[in-house]
Amino acid sequence: MAKMHSRKKGSSRSRPPVVAKIPAWSDVSNEELEKTIMKLHESGMPPSRIGLTLRDQYGVPSTKLVLGKNITGFLKENKVLPDIPEDLTNLMRKALHVRKHIKTNKKDVHNKRSLHLTENKVRRLVKYYHDSGRLAPDWTYSPETAEILIS
């Protein structure tokens, strides 16, 4: 897949093998995994960190194989999913940091372009989440509201 804002090709990376069954060495049960996910979510971890913690500390190879759904789907089923998706939050946080940098370094034209590209990604993602129903239709991105939401 091509990169969004450049003429470069995509990067190759490691992907987990496509397996439809739980490995024999994994001994985690559904109830135990559900309790662990809820405990980690209540401690303030986003879904991506929950997945990394489950993999590294609890030895869970894939929550989708155990639960039949991914972590976000499980949190949505339990009605504890955050109002703003994690990827959108991360992009807004990045835009805020670049905006703060540009305030102090007014002649940094390269990061001005980076800010334009990042905010364009935010707007594109907001449009996607409007269409999919994940965000309210009247929710709009602006740096002021982002700063309030992120801080």
Supply the pLDDT for residue 26. 87
**So where are the chain's domains?**
30-77, 86-150
User: pLDDT tens across 99-116, in order?
Assistant: 999 999 999 999 999 999
Q: What is the residue whose two structure tokens read 């990067």?
A: 11
CATH class of 86-150: mainly alpha
DSSP string, 50-107: HHHHHHHHS--S-HHHHHSS-HHHHHHHTT---SS-HHHHHHHHHHHHHHHHHHH-TT
Backbone angles phi, psi at 101, to 5 degrees: -65, -40
Residue 104's Cα: distance from chain center in Å?
Answer: 29
pTM of the predicted protein model: 0.83
Following DSSP, what letter does each residue of 26-60 receive, concatenated? ----HHHHHHHHHHHHHTT--HHHHHHHHHHHS--
Q: pLDDT per residue over 5-62, tens digit each?
A: 777 787 777 887 787 888 888 889 999 999 999 999 999 999 999 999 999 999 998 8
